[in-house]
Structure 1
Amino acid sequence: MQASNDLGPFREGDSVLRPVRPWTASIHALLAALRRHGFAAALLPQGFDEVWERVAYLPGTTGDLDDNEEMRSERALRSAASLLRRYHDCSRLPLRDLAVDGLWQLPARAPAEVICHGDFAPYNVVLNDGEVTGIIDFETAHPGPRCWDLAYAVYRWAPLSSESRVEGLSRLDDQIRRARILLDAYGLPVAERSLMPDTIIARLEALLTFMEQEAARGVERYRRDLQDGHDNIYRLDIAYVSKWSPEIIAGLCE
């Protein structure tokens, strides 16, 4: 028996199941290591066989900025940044073993400072009482620089997008303000923030390359994404961040 590669996760009691992938063992090793080192805000791995992987369900509410008012709050933004920092710091502890032995969906990037989550966005966290308390969906985790992961978080949480139609989040100055709040709460030194726009652009370009490669391999999810024009959204956002890069840098570093 083999589960479809296009089948998404589903809940079964207090567990969440999804099809096993080539990188599942690495993800479960990461999750187990996080638990051993005291980080309880990630999924608890419950094992896998040749077909299904199983993790414990994390209670709380989920959603994105456009459909969850609590997720748009400054409290959620600050707690998300703080949680990402704690995750990064904890992921450094087992980094050597995981980076050497691991097989990851996304390629490792140098310098391998942390295990990047790979998609730290509002739709991949859980909220409890208005605060981000848990992280889900580690499928795109991979070794890399912490700013590589942080840049994508800024892109998603600000959000630095020309296509944002969310009330209060569509103006550039509001987006920059939220980006600064996130970086302040994360604790990124001001001296390291000037590269953030370029890193966001590089991260989105890498995402486009990955989508195109996976679609060419016949992965249906990414074939649909390209057919539906999702790549065009990222191209527009690359142009948007590039155009306003001086203003973004000024807002993050002032």
Structure 2
Amino acid sequence: MTEEIPLTGGRVTTGVVRVGQTVHRPVGPRSPFVHRVLNVLGGHNAPQYLGDDQIGREVLTYIPGAVPADLGFFSLGQCVQAARLIRQVRDRLSEFPDCGPGQTVCHNDLSPCNFVFQRGQPVAIIDWDAAAVGDPLDDLAYALWLWLDLGNPDNDLVSCRTRLQAMLTAYGVPRTQWPSFSQWIPQQMARVAVSAIETPGRTRAVRAWVARCSAWWQSHGADLLR
């Protein structure tokens, strides 16, 4: 029997293991929907759903590469590639049967910690547990927040502005729509504060972090979008 190698670092699902060139994960109430989403993507920039194993875990293709353990600084090139990747996936999923006009299937956790990197560049999105039909710009706003670590007091504002605007451009957001992100980004911060996982100590820490990010964005966000 092929050895099971625990995969750590996930923020939603525990008990994930690698078996050869596959990943075995516990299923949850949203797994059937997620499997439909992954089937539409067909292994492009995301794992492919292969079925279930003998003990009922879902089996996905393993995507080799590195997954960041935490937020941090990502280069202009990495940020641009992430925005292009997010747009490619959005376009593939916009024809998903459950989507209405202007909707797509949102990942809802487009942190760099849910991207696989190869040769220093993001190439695939993993951990689709929170996926749901929604507004694609909500997903982008969330990604901007975490890829740029908006709220980190050590951020260089010039670099942050350059990378933020480059991501908007790479995604294809018209410049006339950029000011809308002054509200979209804090809305995503508020969503995280409300949905913080109820575990001892975590909820308070997450909400304190979100509060710091929100205050930072209120001070600098409008300037970054000009």
Q: Same fold (TM over 0.5)?
A: yes
Q: State the SS of the aligned residue for 1:11.
A: strand
- Distance, in Å, in 2 between the alignment partners of 1:17 and 1:11 is 6
Q: How far does residue 146 in structure 1 lie from its aligned partner after superposition?
A: 1.3
- Distance, in Å, in 1 between the alignment partners of 2:49 and 2:139 is 22
1:88 corresponds in structure 2 to: 90
Percent of matched pairs sharing the same residue: 25
Correspondence 1:41 to 2:45: yes
Q: TM-score under structure 2 normalisation?
A: 0.85
CA deviation string 1:78-105 (max 9, x = no partner): 11111111000111011xx2359xxxxx
Number of paired residues? 214
Correspondence list, 1:178-217, <5 A:
178-211=163-196, 214-215=197-198
Correspondence 1:60 to 2:50: no
Q: After the TM superposition, which parts of structure 1 deviate over 6 Å for at least 4 consecutive aligned residues?
A: none
| 5+ residue gaps, structure 2 | 1-11
Q: More helix by proportion, 1 or 2?
A: 1
Is the alpha carbon distance of 1:162 and 1:132 closer, same or farther for their aligned partners in structure 2, counting shifts above 3 Å? Answer: closer
RMSD: 2.3
Letter in structure 2 aligned against 1:194: P
- Distance, in Å, in 2 between the alignment partners of 1:51 and 1:187 is 41
Is the alpha carbon distance of 1:223 and 1:53 closer, same or farther for their aligned partners in structure 2, counting shifts above 3 Å? Answer: farther
CA deviation string 1:165-204 (max 9, x = no partner): 5xxxx12222121111111111111011101121111111
1:135 corresponds in structure 2 to: 125
Q: TM-score under structure 1 normalisation?
A: 0.76
Moved more, 128-137 or 49-58: 49-58
Correspondence 1:225 to 2:202: yes
2:8 corresponds in structure 1 to: none
Correspondence list, 1:104-123, <5 A:
113-123=103-113
- Distance, in Å, in 1 between the alignment partners of 2:49 and 2:109 is 19
| 5+ residue gaps, structure 1 | 101-110, 216-221
1:148 corresponds in structure 2 to: 138
CA deviation string 1:52-83 (max 9, x = no partner): 2221111122215767xxx7232222111111
Q: State the SS of the aligned residue for 2:129.
A: coil
- Distance, in Å, in 1 between the alignment partners of 2:188 and 2:56 is 31
1:26 corresponds in structure 2 to: 33
1:10 corresponds in structure 2 to: 17
